Amino acid sequence: MTDYFEVHDRDGAARLGELRLADPVTTPGLVDDVLADAGSEWTADRQIPEGDEASLTVLPHRALPGGTPEEVQAAFASDYPDVDYPSAAVVSPDTAADDGADAYVLSTAQSVAGHAEAFVDAIVRTRDAIPADSALYLPGVATPGNVATLAYAGVDLVDTDRAVVKGTRGKYLTADGEHFLEDLTELPCACPACQGPRADFDREDCVAHNEYTLRAALATVRERIRQGRLRDYLEGQARHEQWHTAVFRRLDRQYGYLEQRTPVIRRAEITAASDDTLRRVEIQRFAQRVTDRYRCRFDNPLVLVPCSARKPYSDSQSHGQFHDAVQFRAHTVSMTSPIGVVPQELELTYPAQHYDSVVTGDWSATELEFVSDVLGAYLRENEYPRMIAHVPAEYRPICERVEDDLGVEFEYTVVDHPTTTDSLANLASALAGEDKYRKRERQHNTLRAVADYQFGRGAGDALFEDIRVRARYPKLKAHDPGGEQLAALVPQYGVLSLTLAGARRWVDSAAPTKRVEIDDFVPHGSVLAPGVVDASEAIRVGDEVVVEGPNAFAVGRAEMHGREMAESTRGIAASVRHVAER
Amino acid sequence: MSKPSPEVYEQGRGMDAHNQAMREIRARKDETHDPTEPTRVWLDEDNTPDGVYDSLTIILNTGGCRWARAGGCTMCGYVAESVEGGSVSHEDLMTQVEKCLDHEDEHGDEPAGQVKIYTSGSFLDEREVGAETRQAIAETFADRDRIVVESLPDFIDAEKVADFTDHGLATDVAVGLETATDRVRHDCVNKYFDFAEFERAAADAADAGAGVKAYLLMKPPFLSESEAVADMKSSIRRCADVEGCHTVSMNPCNVQRHTMVEDLFHADGYRPPWLWSVCEVLDDTADEDVLVVSDPVGHGSDRGPHNCGECDDRVQRAIKDFDLRQDPSVFEQASCPCERTWEEVMDRERSYSMPLAR
């Protein structure tokens, strides 16, 4: 049971949480003032401590530092008592398990901090072994430079120990690294400790500065999590130290760990300022769903166009011009870094209208490779009678690569720039004689495409075979032949929100349903984690979910991932949109 | 009184695990040694209850520690310094002793007043050094004033000790007690006897007219800096209370090859103690009714007890000075900004967050 820790907000593996002590601690945060260590059992037999609500009691432990042989770990691993006050259990990645504690202290922190491979392995293994709603404490390793990386990986609690010890050694810490105090001509900081003259600044001041800076770095991390933008910060900040960069790159390779924890929709914008952005879960997931789940339902030719800075693309001037030339005679797919390819039906769908990239007119080799891989995979899944590439010169290498890989040919229509009169005329004349598709077809195909993307391959047909569409794009609504609303397209995220009738269709359809099984109550507003009996593993934050129990059938949006719903004892599991009593 | 033996004690779960791990670790070592050469021999100076003596210190190359063959102590790499196969003949051992005497002739002005004999295991274990050899060695050094032989307590009895005291030698039996805390000795050091056995051995040695010198280990694995210091302070006080135990030699742990401590050290899970910790213990226990000395091996290196790298030699000198004079004021003269770091480590380091500073 985790009674004294609650996760309020999530940003990938990072969480904004609350250590619910008499004086609550917002996490990621410092535990210096609230930690009560009941002591090591290596030195003495310990009684179960009294404990209290004001502190996080570290239960009597035999800490196993890095390098402890496996058999010794197995022989000496601690057994922890069940206590009814805030408690922490000391574990190693090998011994970590659900010990019923609110927090877990990683005894190998000193061994793994600084070594990206070992660090990622330790965090991923430990996080997977302890309950999702417990806090993870890495003792003695936090610095202003590494806390963003620690939090990004899933660490909730840290302390000032290393920052203080470094200060006593004349190491001046900042978010961008570490300096020998004697090497600094001036103090690059405005904290209270750095107010005096440089000449008077001694190691005691350095200790104070390090603590202030660590606190500020933690506040930055917490704000970033609130905004859902820790990754964007980290892609820049982590570059100051190699192991930090290596950590997030290695975590990108631990796709399962991050994907499980990354929301499927959010308001925050993605800053695409480095090649690393291409490996973000949001980007990979979109590319994967577009190639694996989405299916083009139009019979018209393909027109590949460049993306626009303005989102959604259709709001941009350039896409307006493309549209005028195409005149509903082709299926428009935008090529973009870092997203890959965006079929016109998915231009609203997160993150297709939620990113901003650095535009220089040059593409990096990684971008070229990524976009051509996605385009290639897309064209293997979707066949077109003709393929027109209305793209500027810098996109040509991508198209040519795909032509070579797939043995296909594009018709190129751009002479200098896609929006010049000549280029647009070329595009229009290339489509001369092609049939126009109707508005109804466009609207139906849009709703079905989003359903495919959101619920799985074929879901668009399974859910929306016989629909009537009401309202105007982008606020499309799907109704059944009897007039009852099934779903609405949410323009902000480009996903569907279902009604109860839509949810029933989903349950009855072949498309895999994401279910939250609850106890015998009728949820209103939200479903709290303790009321969840079970939940589909595949649920991600932001997913549509069906909530079912003996007394209720409801539909809503997930606030936790599936495992977290099933394991957590605190927090909101899902927000409920519509509910019916049974 | 039950006599714990390696075989009996091995039944413990933790001990099984330690021994299995240590056997695997030691198996990485594949050196062999010449049975006619002593492992090491050197001349130095020691503070004893009878004053400061020149010492001839001998590490005999015997069959090696029996306990170490089962696995053994987590910090001890000396098993690797024994001959292959397990036993060394009387003749070979006496050849080693001859070579030690040659060394003394060559390097010393006159025969040392004190002789200290160690093996990689227990000198009084008759499987390492037979009665015949023991008696011959006693005979060889009968003209000296003092002799120190090292043994685990279970091999100590009045009869063996009398082989030396009968020659009129002031005799000390040195025991690798490591700590007075049974729990730490068992679970962190993986040494099998109890403090009660040490007390029994001291009493038997006293019956034969010999004294006991306890070797303590500062900072075995799994202990934080402050826990290690506290363990040494209490261990010294408990040793002081043991009849016949007149000297404590505190050895700060160093990282020896092919040991569990080395595995921990390589994985950043262990740091040898600070020299400030040694000073702190010596200073704090200076008033105890026991001679406390320390000769930090490998001081100033990553693998040995060390401070910041700037002050190590200075602080080591203060410790050696204390050994000879037992005057805690020597520590007042050693200072360094890194003492402040050490204070924070003492205050902040926990066994789950170590090492807080390298």
Tens of pLDDT along A104-133? 999 999 999 999 999 999 999 999 999 999
Q: Where are the domains of chain B?
A: 6-348
CATH class of the B6-348 domain in this structure: alpha beta
Chain A positions touching B73 (Cβ under 8 A) are: none
Which tens digits make up the pLDDT trace of B11-46?
A: 578 888 999 998 888 888 777 778 899 989 999 999
Q: How far is B144 from chain A (nearest CA, A)?
A: 41
Q: Are A43 and B181 a contacting pair at CB < 8 A? A: yes
Phi, psi angle pair for A523, to nearest 5° = -75, 140
- Among residues B254, B222, B294, which one has the least CA distance to residue B77? B254
pLDDT at B8 over 70: no
Burial class (CB in 10 A: 0-12, 13-18, 19+), B337: middle
Note whether B17 contacts A139, CB cutoff 8 Å.
Answer: no
Q: Which sequence spans correspond to the domains of chain A?
A: 5-255, 270-430, 458-581
What is the sign, positive or negative, of the torsion defined by CA atoms of B237, B239, B244, B245?
negative
Can you tell me whether residue A11 is helix, strand or coil? strand
CATH class, A458-581 region: mainly beta
DSSP A300-349: SPEEEEE--SSSSGGGSHHHHHHHHHHTTSSEEEEEETTTEEEEGGGTTS
* Cβ–Cβ < 8 Å for A303, A335: no
- Is A359 strand, coil or helix? coil
Q: Which residues, numbered 246 to 305 in chain B, qualify as contacts with chain A under a Cβ-Cβ cut-off of 8 Å?
A: 260, 263-270
* CA–CA min distance A544, chain B (Å): 42
| Closest CA–CA distance from residue A257 to any residue of chain B (Å) | 25
pLDDT at B84: 61
Q: Strand A157-158 to strand A302-306: parallel, antiparallel, or no bridges (unpaired)?
A: unpaired
pLDDT, tens digit, 9 for 90 and up, residues B300-343: 999 999 999 999 999 999 999 999 999 999 999 899 999 999 99
Chain B nearest-CA distance from A92, in A, is 9
CATH code: domain A270-430 is: 3.40.50.10630
The answer to whether A140 contacts B354, with C-beta atoms less than 8 Å apart, is yes
**H or E segment and range at residue A76:** helix A70-76
The fraction of chain B above a pLDDT of 90, given in percent, is: 80
B134 has pLDDT over 70 = yes
Can you read off the two tokens belonging to residue A440?
């109804």
Q: Are strands A485-490 and B146-150 parallel, antiparallel or unpaired?
A: unpaired
ipTM over 0.85: yes
Closest in A43, A159, A165 to B183, CB measured:
A43
Q: Write out the E strands in B69-202.
A: 114-119, 146-150, 170-178
Q: For residues B226 and A406, give the distance between their C-alpha atoms in angstroms, rounded to a whole number.
A: 68
How many interchain CB pairs under 8 A, A with B?
141
Question: Is residue A185 predicted with pLDDT exceeding 70?
Answer: yes
Domain boundaries A5-255, corresponding CATH code? 3.20.20.105
- B1 pLDDT higher than 50: no
Q: Is B81 at the interface with chain A, CB within 8 A?
A: no
SS3 A406: helix
pLDDT of residue B7: 45
Question: Which amino acid, residue B199?
Answer: E
